[in-house]
Structure 1
């Protein structure tokens, strides 16, 4: 069938431009992505409607600004937990929900559930250049494989020799406190001192490296502390969650420099350990250290094999070692500082704890906690 000519309307045949087609294709793709995002957001918001939430500041900011990292912010969070003892939800801006679970009965099923299929939370991506794809940031089959391979690292036969390391690090911290008191110091930043103690312990347990960081500055320790602070600071600035913006800032440049230093240290330890063990046969050397109960975390990672007999790559080992250096020192220091704060606030409980420790150490020489 022949179509009538439209020349009398001034309309001739249309020759599609490649740029026009590209523009239409791009617009269609973006439109589809927006529709998918809207559908996903509405579906998520519908599922989360059962969680109570405090009043929003406004529709755009949501609950941004609630519970800042100050004493007043801690009081606000305490009030929220009292008002919503099971848990609650807040909105970071108009579209990002954040759920806080408070009661142990609510938290327990989450902790007991399989973690294999979890999606990586975008909030953790700031750690990725530093920690790599280790247990904290990996997901799916890789998370499961690494978790199984790392399980031997937490066997009591591996952990038991570490107790002397912990005791020595604490004794160093106590000696430093006594020296500072003799010099007239009456106030201490508890978290700073305990962080150095936990980092001192971890360097010995993970790398078999004695940094003496509690007594003198350490470039590696300073980089770890700086990275932790930079990630926390970035988390509080939503615009800097965008990598291309963050890389342009002074903090972004400091972050990259500290990452290079930390990675260089870890890589050097791994290379040196492989070189020394290969000289006597990797498996023979590690097995000899295992029998002597002197394995550190790097040794365990070098020794680890999956069900198919495959070992971890150097990149995997670095990711797990860096992850444990961060998670091990930060959470432990926070927990110990909080315990000591509460013991100082409640002398009667402090005395009960002191008596319990004295009873445990009675007639022991040396007077140190044992496994």
Structure 2
């Protein structure tokens, strides 16, 4: 009885000291937030279903204003969605360190461009910029076209019967093939072999990392290491890293056998070089030295991850929007007919540049359904961000999805209006930080032209051959590694000829 009483007294004392600390910490911020509880802070507010996270963030912003302070246990977080504040953060050269949630990617991606910071990040970003040179982008087009044809055949044979199906797993396979072949020069044929170890391992890592990012229980290393997820996580990482290592070593031997020792001047050969990205990493130098093997593996994994997941999300939601907006879909189809005399013709790089309306459609879909709905920054110094006083050690969350749906920045924001992005029309100027699909500032996405080209190739091919029809469903959005829907992203397909015959 005495021991129980002592434990109770100790618990009460610790709780009181915790509450005092949290309340004092709240005074370090000059903007409001919910009152924290002892020990857990506001953590109890985030023990919720995956589909409840985005509504919870939006509710906090609506209640407390453009900036909200919350504590998960004793760790302070700041949620923002005003472009004025976002611009101040993303353009500050000292605020380039990603938030703590990115730590869950480190066992998979290492200290690559997505997760690194400081001088290493600056050097590697400078090194990798040539990977998205105009000529190298053209070298990826045959890859995209080949995999688009495989997708088209798969859709025609299996999914064009007018029955609903989930786009995400189908699109994920073509996006993965595009990523592996354009980045490493080899395809794992995930469209034809979706049960391969590599494909399954990537799916496992996506699922587990997403869980850790949104669940405050599994976010704790000690708890995660005791869970059944730890074994699956480590096995998947082993498969992915081993296979990547084999591909890199094979290409290194090929370069040695061909006596190729320098990447200098090879960008003009990019159209013929299917190993363009990998060769850049293998042959380039930083401060007179070749890139370390560890760094090389990290950058390959990073670009595979970044290009596959985000592209999957982007394509799936564009097709979903087109299914709901039939008049828009027909305008996209009319544009295709205006560009191609033969709809079976493969697009050239210049043809893709003519797809102005399709690009507007893509941008409007990405506004409503950004592949990365939230980004985070670790505040590494006491900062005044456009009037917000934020203390060192806080994690800042940029709520992209709700900013891009805010009526203060977009008229009738929940309506699908591609013409918002018509650059040829005279429009009211919009803050460039009110559309953040490819981020902005110092850590903006280097691969945005790569992504736009891939989206155009796949979407153009689908719209030319199929009528995308709607399914009666409401998306249950989840902010995982990318924006997903718990009940899928579903549409129906009919071949265009069959559609015309039936209607």
TM, length-normalised to structure 1:
0.77
Q: Answer whether contact 2:109 2:301 (CA < 8 A) is retained.
A: yes
* Higher percent of residues as helix: 1
Q: Answer whether contact 1:277 1:286 (CA < 8 A) is retained.
A: no
- Structure number with greater CO (CA < 8 Å, separation at least 6) is 2
In the alignment, what sits opposite 1:194?
171
Q: 1:150 to 1:238 in 2, by over 3 A?
A: same
Q: 1:279 to 1:245 in 2, by over 3 A?
A: same
Question: For 2:184, which of 201, 207, 224 is the aligned residue?
Answer: 207
Structure 1 gaps of 5+ residues are 1-33
In the alignment, what sits opposite 1:276?
254
Q: Deviation at 1:352?
A: 2.0
Match runs of 1:1-371 below 5 Å? 45-46=26-27, 48-50=29-31, 53=33, 55=34, 60=40, 62=42, 64-65=45-46, 68-70=49-51, 74=54, 83=62, 87-89=66-68, 91-114=70-93, 118-181=96-159, 184=161, 186-217=163-194, 218-283=196-261, 291=269, 293=271, 294=273, 295-306=275-286, 308-362=287-341, 366-371=345-350
Q: Aligned pair count? A: 327
Q: Is the radius of gyration larger for structure 1 or structure 2?
A: 1
Q: Deviation at 1:274?
A: 1.2
Q: Which range moved further: 337-346 or 221-230?
A: 337-346
Q: What secondary structure sits across from 2:67 in the alignment?
A: strand
Q: Deviation at 1:236?
A: 2.7
Q: Deviation at 1:246?
A: 1.8
Q: 1:85 to 1:341 in 2, by over 3 A?
A: farther
1:274 & 1:285 partners in 2: Cα distance? 13
RMSD (Å), alpha carbons? 3.2
Q: Answer whether contact 1:191 1:333 (CA < 8 A) is retained.
A: yes
1:208 & 1:135 partners in 2: Cα distance? 20
Q: Deviation at 1:171?
A: 2.2
In the alignment, what sits opposite 2:409?
none
Q: 1:197 to 1:105 in 2, by over 3 A?
A: farther
Q: Answer whether contact 1:234 1:241 (CA < 8 A) is retained.
A: yes
In the alignment, what sits opposite 1:21?
none
Q: 1:142 to 1:289 in 2, by over 3 A?
A: closer
